A and B are shown apart, each in its own frame.
Chain A
Amino acid sequence: MTPTQKILGVAAATGLALAMGACARAENAVPEGGAGGDAGSGGPVTIGIKFDQPGLGQQVGSDFKGFDVEVARYVAKELGYTDVTFKEAPSAQRETLLQSGQVKMIFATYSITDDRKQKVSFGGPYFVAGQDLLVKADDTAITGPDSLNGKKLCSVTGSTSAKKVKDQFASSVQLQEYDTYSKCVEALNSGRIDAVTTDDVILAGFAAQPQYQGKLKVVGQTFSTEKYGVGLAKGDTATCEKVNAAITKMVDDGSWQKALDDTVGAADFKPDTSTNPPKPEPCS
């Protein structure tokens, strides 16, 4: 190495380190009092979303896109917040993020369940999803969960969805479990497995991705009910009431339907209209 090359190398490495540092700072930026601000008092707020869920909450460059994100922005605006910071809320950390006050609200395909209610409170629901199947667009053999015998079904590690199909509908289905749904969808696309199962709106988000458009379809036979709620700190009824009012307003003025069409509509996905749009449940 000549001295010039050495200097260039050091300069490049330093530049890279600085750039990475800057990214890390931008991601972790939590404005002072961001999560703890009083509801409706304006100013900054930190909201937890998924960063890797296409169609619902996905990071695209420095921006965020998806149905969860749209609802979060609308609700934050209705609550009077002017400066919204999004923070990643992976499934296993959602309760901790709310309890420690790192985020004020969570919009991250967060199903309302009794076990979760022991630790956090829920506003909403703002969407009622149901378990469904994603198959190849030209597949006519799979019409619902009971036509899966002898087929290969994919879901993610640590979810009931696949096990439920095996226990209740098709006892001789083979289960493949990966750590992410994107792996399931890729395996489906390559033909190694026959179907992917989870909530219909999540599946629609994957099918609406440009690389899968026209290749995959959601079967449209839901066989469970998942109410997506807004995660709040335990006992935060004041915020809960305002969130519910905001969701009701969003449904009434048509922004809810528009947000849904803009984000997961590309895969010809129609939510179950008997349950959607949902009425928020009373706060407790």
Chain B
Amino acid sequence: MDAITTLLQNYDVPAAFWMTVKLTVLSAIGALVLGTVVAVCRVSPVGVLRGFGTAYVTLVRNTPLTLIVFFCAFGLLNTLNLSLASAGSPTEVIDNNFRYGVVALSVYHASFVAEALRSGINTVPQGQAEAARAIGLGFGASLREVILPQAFRGAVAPLGNTLIALTKNTTVVATIGVAELAYLMRGMIEFNPSLLYAIFLLVAACFVLLTLPTGLLFTALSRRLVVQR
């Protein structure tokens, strides 16, 4: 217990925790938006869009996240000079790292969100789409008014799994210097190697604090929101 107190006194654990939360929430929103677009592409009647959706999921889902993060930091930022922060600002480096971290996490998890949503879309009986078409709704309207609302409710559980995976995957962006929990942990291990187990325990506890309520919430939601058929 002394060890944990020492760590909390010497390191800014709440700041790192908050950074992990920020990464998780922003990337979750990004992944949800991008993933919905990809899922809609995958079920659209237009061949090119379907091809794009399939290609996106196949490519991104099989690429290690570390590689995507590395590509964002070195390919887009360092080599192509695509800066996401205003040049010359005193926090340019930190802003770029954080924003590219969110981009990488969003792009990676969008493929999982898309597949979760597609499974949700598959829970909606074929007759619903046909009925929507029969009363005169176009592809967009029938998706918006009939299919997607039911699809989201059917996909709550897999979306929750993706969110939990995303929470833990935020640790990967420590490699480009975003000051979140895994980054803090490396610093702690370097300067207080004698407290190794306390450090692991502390960081693990932080993640349990984030993922356990998420899991419980999504299980409860998936029960409450399920479409009774």
Residues of A within 8 A of B (CB): 91-92, 94-96, 115-116, 118-119, 152, 157-160, 172, 174-179, 183, 186-187, 190, 192-193
Contacts and interface: CB of A to CB of B under 8 A. Distances in A.
A152 B90 CA distance: 10
B174 interface: yes
Interface string B179-193: 000010011111111
B177 A186 contact: no
B204 interface: no
B193 A157 contact: no
Interface residues of B, number: 26
B74 interface: yes
B64 to A, nearest CB: 14
B177 A177 contact: yes
Report the 6 A-B pairs with minimum CB-CB distance, sorted nearest first.
Answer: A158-B186, A177-B177, A179-B175, A158-B190, A158-B187, A192-B78
B177 A91 contact: no
Interface stretch (B91-99, B161-169, B211-219): B91-99
B39 interface: no
Interface string B86-111: 00001111100100000000000000
B129 to A, nearest CB: 37
A174 B78 contact: no
A190 B78 contact: yes
Interface of A is mostly: mixed
Given A158-B188, A175-B177, A183-B175, 16 more contacts: A92-B186, A92-B189, A116-B193, A152-B92, A157-B186, A157-B187, A158-B186, A158-B191, A172-B90, A175-B93, A178-B73, A178-B176, A186-B78, A187-B78, A190-B74, A190-B79
A183 B189 contact: no
B177 A115 contact: no
Given A91-B190, A157-B174, A179-B175, A186 B74 contact: yes
A78 to B, nearest CB: 29
Contacts of A116: 193
Contact of B194 (A115, A152, A183): A115
B53 to A, nearest CB: 28
Chain A CB within 10 A, most for which of B91, B94, B190, B192 = B190
B133 to A, nearest CB: 41
B13 interface: no
Contacts of B97: 176
Contacts of A91: 190
A175 B97 CA distance: 11
A122 to B, nearest CB: 14
B183 A174 contact: no
Interface in B135-161: none
B123 to A, nearest CB: 35
